[in-house]
Structure 1
Amino acid sequence: MSAQIHVPSVLSRAGAVSALTLAALGGTMLAPGAAPEAQAATSYAGKALNIAASKKGSPYKYGASGPSRFDCSGLTLYSYKKAGKSLPRTAQQQYNKTRHISASSRQKGDLVFFHSGGRVYHVGIYAGSGKIWHSPKKGSWVKLDRIWSSKVYYGRVR
């Protein structure tokens, strides 16, 4: 016999209930910045975003493209591949292959490319609210960060 939880009494004892508590009671939890399930089920970008978020904490390793270690373009390559789309290996090659879009038309799951002097040197997956999932550098790990530069391009995977 399975234990039953009377949700109203649990909620009333808890007082103010956070979104994470509600998600836990419902049996579904998403990492911050992950796309809602409905979006993930209907778009490659949403699926790729959720996959990247699921790799939170995976260590950075130059040249790695998963499943447990990543560099920046390795994370985007892995995430989109698992979502059913192919990307080239490097950040610059990924930029060259995407449909370039404006900041005002960016959506969750689009790629964010950091550039200097016309050269793309870093990529992440847009998570909404000015944040990206990325694998930044040696000694770091896959994480959600604010976009820290105005020198970015946006690209949509076709």
Structure 2
Amino acid sequence: MTAHTYVPHLLSRAGAASALTLATIGGTMLAPGAATEAHAASHSTKALKIAASKKGAPYMRGATGPNRFDCSGLTLYSFKKAGKSLPRTAQSQYNRTRHISASGRQPGDLVFFHYGRSVYHVGIYAGNGKIWHSPKTGSHVKLERIWSNSVWYGRVR
């Protein structure tokens, strides 16, 4: 059986439900779940670009955009525009994400600043130890270096 006839034959033998879990990219078979990870990465990349596009927008407590933001308002707005929903507060956003290690962080992941077990601030990881965030009253959306070791990382699913 040739490669061209083998894949359709395999799919017909696997059944419709199993066929839905298979994906081919460039002739390479991917494991179930791999497409989901790629889909999540594309949402995160879009959210990161949206947050960056809001550079200079003023901070306003409780604001969720499109022209003013607080920290979790910026992440909520950015992911909503990228096709994903998040809860309103930084703590609730942390509770909703898939928690990842610092070594596994990628641009587009959320960075949660915490004191003890309580999350008090959130931004979107931009790479190279920096985040896009809306920091505080009197400030604006900006790219800034992560200033604390008391951070957790989360990936929006």
Normalising TM by the smaller chain, what interval? 0.7 to 0.9
Instruction: Identify the residue that residue 105 of structure 2 maps to in structure 1.
Output: 106
Instruction: Identify the residue that residue 150 of structure 1 maps to in structure 2.
Output: 149
Structure index of larger Rg: 2
Q: Which runs of 5+ in 2 are unaligned?
A: 1-37
Instruction: Identify the residue that residue 50 of structure 1 maps to in structure 2.
Output: 49
Runs of 4+ aligned residues of structure 1 deviating over 4 Å after TM superposition are none
Residue 97 (structure 1) shift: 0.1
Question: CA-to-partner distance for each residue in 1:43-98, whole Å, 9 max, x for gaps?
Answer: 00000000000000000000000000000000000000000000000000000000
Within 5 Å, which residues of 2 pair with 1:104-143?
104-143=103-142
Mapped pair 1:96 → 2:68: no
What is the TM-score normalised by the length of structure 1? 0.74
Residue 117 (structure 1) shift: 1.6
Structure-1 separation of matches of 2:51 and 2:68: 12
What is the TM-score normalised by the length of structure 2? 0.74
Structure-2 separation of matches of 1:65 and 1:143: 16
Task: Give SS of 1:104's match.
Answer: helix
Question: CA-to-partner distance for each residue in 1:82-125, whole Å, 9 max, x for gaps?
Answer: 00000000000000000000000000000000000210000000
Structure-2 separation of matches of 1:107 and 1:139: 29
Mapped pair 1:76 → 2:75: yes
Structure-2 separation of matches of 1:148 and 1:57: 20
Structure-2 separation of matches of 1:44 and 1:50: 10
Q: Which runs of 5+ in 1 are unaligned?
A: 1-38
Task: Give SS of 1:100's match.
Answer: strand
Question: CA-to-partner distance for each residue in 1:6-28, whole Å, 9 max, x for gaps?
Answer: xxxxxxxxxxxxxxxxxxxxxxx
Structure-1 separation of matches of 2:134 and 2:45: 18
